[in-house]
Structure 1
Amino acid sequence: MARQSSPRPDADEPELDEAAGSHDPDERDDETATAGTADRGLWEELRIDPVEIALPAGSGFTLRAYRPAREVTPTEVGERDQDDPFLARSRAVTEDENDETVVILDEEFAEQLAEAEEEEAAAAKTRDRKGRADDDAADDADDEADDDTDEDTDGSDDGDEEVPVFLTHQGRLLLFKSPEALVSFVRSGAANDLTQLDTWDALVERISPADIAPLDEDTYELDLVVENLRGGHDTWDPALLIEAGEVARDLAYALRLPAVLDMLSSGSSLDDLDEALRTTVNGGLGAIFARRRLKKIGAQTASLGWRTIVGKISAVVDWRD
């Protein structure tokens, strides 16, 4: 936005010496802010966005793009390939000695989750059972909406579906502690998974530290999720949790983390939490039913699940100064 001209001084006031660079302090602040504002036209043209992600170990900047699946080669994950559904979708499900499906979860987390679910199941028996009819009606409405969505997507080519791609290399997310460090890496010509994009060369030529200014919706605070969930239903922050779910799904896909994808998949308890939160944010009659559903989601189970997700994402981060 153009800076407005300064009003002319009154006749009885001494004129400022322009050569000395004197300015109104408010104008100087406005000029500084304008100079540091990123040109969103660059990102819109190249279809790449700067992203800021906060994790328990700190906060860092990276890049993300969305492209049709047929145009993207997944990141190489090396030793993790044996558990990677991207390379072995047709492989038979591993079974244990009792022919039971093996769930890809950490043993410690699985034990804690089982204990939490038992405690919450016992507590659920004492809850008031009123409102079931209302819940069923809400579920029916959700099912109808899902059916409509399915009809809209029938016949679409899987290769046309846009998938997330981050600034990654060999299965690790590159996070930079400053805009300058991120720009230096981009300009260095170092290997990474975004070089396959058709707009990457243009970004290398045009990017500057001032451009690394993520939008609010591209700033994610994964470091706050577990603590927020532990606070209980009344303290849950819908915006924080919804945005965390969005970036966690993107990262799980881009970094090929099947356990995280499974924990956030449709029908999981964390996906139910996400859907209920979105409905409460949208308001209306559905929000009333959604709040009831939220009360049935155990805070302990949710916090344990998210602790595992944040831990798995943190384990594949490559921090760069």
Structure 2
Amino acid sequence: MGRHSQPDEDDKSNATETDTDALDSDATPTRSAKADAFWEKVGVEPVEIALPKGVGLTLRAYRMSDTVEPVEAEEEPAEEPEPKPKRGKGKTKPEPEPEPEDVDEELDEEFEDDDEESDEDVEEPVEEIPVFLTLRGRLPLFDSPKALVKFVKSRPPTELSGIDTWDELVKGIKPEYVVASEDDTYELDLVVRNLRGGHDTWDPDLIVSAAEVARDLGYALRIPSVMSTLAQGSPLDDLDNALRAVAEGGLRAVFAKRRARKVGAEQTSLAWRGIVVKINDAVDWRK
């Protein structure tokens, strides 16, 4: 699946006819024009994410926050309440009824608290947000397009089912359409190892792309530590900006490389290790 499954050129040249057929079946799939048109129409894209535990597929959309309908997933069965103590021996003495003056004071305090809360109520800003197939705070990742399509067709109460084109997506999605483009393929499993190699080995495209999907997942999965570590103005955000300039090339890339070299390699790899672990722990692997 994706770049992780591409065979080496030497392996191809030495393969027998049977082996070549097997290699062709494992080669990176291409996406048809019909599939491109479908994804553009529904405003959603397949995403492939590689993590230490494996490689999986999901779907991601970007929408304005005020256009995504909240979706309530079924709650887990609640634990049975503890039995109340029986009357009789050992019974706790009831609290005395408050005096009328005490009641008035308590009501006044409650009204004051309500006033303070209403003053603090501020409308959330409307902004573009990432929306995934997240379910009860978890991210299902699928090992095949067929498994992902079967899941979507079952109409689960995921966050993505709150977008405006969900019904159209469910109706039209096909396994052959679920092919992630190169821009939507992320290798989070390689980031820490690359950073540990030192500044001279850092791959700007790898790290910038990993930061993009990690920010999206941190928001979608409500992982505060991931969001704060990659927040605007953070050391990793500054590194991200420098590496973007390096990837773009030109004169700015020279100064950007100098800025990137000032970032501690060990601290950066440790910070990224924490990000990958948190995301990895929030994944449900599905077949």
Question: What TM-score, normalized by structure 2, do the two folds share?
Answer: 0.70
Report the structure number with the largest CA radius of gyration: 2
C-alpha separation in 1, matches of 2:186 and 2:30: 25
Q: 290-299 vs 190-199, which deviates more?
A: 190-199
Asked if 1:49 is matched to 2:15, the reply is no
Q: Who is 1:158 aligned against?
A: 125
Deviations 1:195-243 (A, max 9, x none): 1111111111111100001110000000000000000111111110000
Inter-partner Cα distance in structure 2 for 1:296 and 1:34: 40
Q: What secondary structure, in the 3-state scheme, does the structure 1 residue paired with 2:222 have?
A: coil
Task: Tell me what 2:60 maps to.
Answer: 64
SS at match of 1:39: helix
The superposition leaves residues 133-166 of structure 1 with CA deviations (integer Å, 9 ceiling, x where unpaired) of xxxxxxxxxxxxxxxxxxxxxxxx931x211000
Distance in 1 separating the partners of 2:152 and 2:168 = 11
How many angstroms does 1:313 deviate by? 0.5
Is the aligned partner of 1:281 residue 2:247? yes
Paired residue type of 1:171: G
Q: d(CA) in 2 for partners of 1:179 and 1:42?
A: 15
Q: Which amino acid aligns with 1:308?
A: G
C-alpha distance in structure 1 between counterparts of 2:55 and 2:267, whole Å: 26
8 Å Cα contact 1:75/1:171 also seen in 2? no
Matches within 5 A, 1:206-285: 206-285=172-251
Give the number of equivalent residue pairs.
Answer: 216
Give the secondary-structure state (helix, strand or coil) at the position aligned to 2:140. Answer: strand
Inter-CA distance 34–241: structure 2 relative to 1 (3 Å threshold): closer
- Map of 2:152 onto structure 1: 186
For the residues of structure 1 that align with 2:130 and 2:72, how far apart are their CA atoms? 15
Change beyond 3 A, Cα 1:263–1:36: closer
1:39-188 counterparts in 2 under 5 A? 39-72=35-68, 158-159=125-126, 161-188=127-154
Q: Is the 8 A contact 1:75 1:254 kept in 2?
A: no
SS in 2 for 1:169: coil
Could you tell me which amino acid in structure 2 is paired with residue 66 of structure 1?
Answer: Y
Report what 2:262 is aligned to: 296
Q: Identity over the aligned pairs, expressed in percent? A: 56
**What letter corresponds to residue 61 of structure 1 in structure 2?**
L
For 2:280 and 2:29, locate their aligned partners in 1 and report how far apart those are by CA, in whole Å: 34
Secondary structure of the equivalent of 1:168? coil
Equivalence for 1:316: 282
**Shift, 1:74, TM fit:** 6.4
Opposite residue 238 of structure 1, the aligned amino acid is P
| Equivalent position amino acid for 2:250 in 1 | G
1:255 Cα shift?
0.9
Instruction: Give the match for residue 166 of structure 2.
Output: 200
RMSD: 2.7
Which amino acid counterpart does residue 125 of structure 2 have in structure 1? Answer: D
C-alpha distance in structure 2 between counterparts of 1:274 and 1:51, whole Å: 21
- The CA deviation at 1:267 is 1.8
Structure 1 ranges of 4+ moved more than 3 A: 33-38, 73-79
The CA distance in 1 between the partners of 2:72 and 2:179, in whole Å, is 29
- Judged with a 3 Å threshold, the aligned counterparts in structure 2 of structure 1 residues 226 and 35 are, in CA distance, closer, same or farther, namely closer
- Quick one: higher RCO (CA 8 Å, sep 6+), 1 or 2? 1
Deviations along 1:101-123, one digit per CA (max 9) or x if unpaired, are xxxxxxxxxxxxxxxxxxxxxxx
Q: State the distance in 1 between where 2:231 and 2:275 align.
A: 13
- Structure 1: where are the runs of 5+ without partners? 1-28, 80-89, 92-156
Distance in 2 of aligned mates of 1:280 and 1:235: 13
Deviation at 1:306, TM superposition (A): 0.4
Deviation at 1:50, TM superposition (A): 0.5
Distance 1:245 1:75 in 2: 27
Q: Distance in 1 between matches of 2:72 and 2:148?
A: 21
Instruction: Give the partner amino acid of 1:262.
Output: S
Contact 1:76 1:171 in 2 (8 A): no
C-alpha separation between the residues in 2 aligned to 1:48 and 1:41?
11
Distance 1:240 1:209 in 2: 27
How far apart are the structure 1 equivalents of 2:226 and 2:71?
A: 16
Amino acid at match of 1:158: P
Return 5+ residue gaps in structure 2 as ranges: 1-23, 77-119
